[in-house]
Structure 1
Amino acid sequence: MTRMIFVNLPVTDLERAKAFYSGLGFANEPRFTDDTAACVVWSETIFVMLLTHAKWRTFTDRPIPDAASSEVMLCLSCESRDEVAAMNAGVASRGGTADINPPQDHGFMMSHAFADPDGHVWEAMWMDPAVASGEKEPSVAA
């Protein structure tokens, strides 16, 4: 079986969160979606579970952090620099915050970080396929 990742995120407004992620290109998986949770899919191996706070609390007693804190930054690979830029450009119009960290461009790799409407931090990233596959060594742009 292929290993997969399911990222679980508490959200304050499930419908808003579903619309945000759909607008970024995630697909809804109706088999794992109801009025307390939604599964949105980035790829064959990456799934994000959007959970209402009530649903989240059925999994843990740990507190839900506020939007001003940051515990992790989740990074999504994109197929091109243009896809990274387009994702970042569409974040604000969907209720998120674009460029919450300075954009990074290292020549062979570039990224933009953003926050979803609940403050969860994401980074859209592109890497030169030849560098990612090991065919070429990374060289940092001057």
Structure 2
Amino acid sequence: MEVILKQDIHTLGYKNDIVTVKNGYGRNYLIPTGMAVLATESAKKMHAENMRQSAHKQEKIKNEALELAKKLEAVSLTVGAKTSTTGKIFGSVNNIQIAEALEAKGFEIDRKVIAIKDAVKEIGKYTATVKLHKEVKVDIAFEVVSE
């Protein structure tokens, strides 16, 4: 079943993407909750026209994301965590702490667009990936230190 997404869905796609999903997922979850519409021929034509009209708006949003990415590349973060005497962290560092550290530096980034590849369980240097736009990703270096 093909559907047109009305909003970004983390594991599926971005707003206005046409994606193929299983019938039950589309009929029982995506369409009733308003996250997607069925991709009929008329809906695809309307979607194509809307995408053509909003192309310049999307370009502007992408350029803003690129500017923010350039600023974020220069940022280096330090995240404090409680540790044992061997350097192991009690718990782990996740995207919430990264978002808070970015906010302290003056960047308002949603925690849902921040991804950390491996679990951060020890002090050291790591990288996090921030997806600012469908086509714009930036890696941010951060260091975990003992408090």
Q: Which has the higher helix share?
A: 2
Task: Give the TM-score normalised by the residue count of structure 2.
Answer: 0.26
Task: Give the TM-score normalised by the residue count of structure 1.
Answer: 0.27
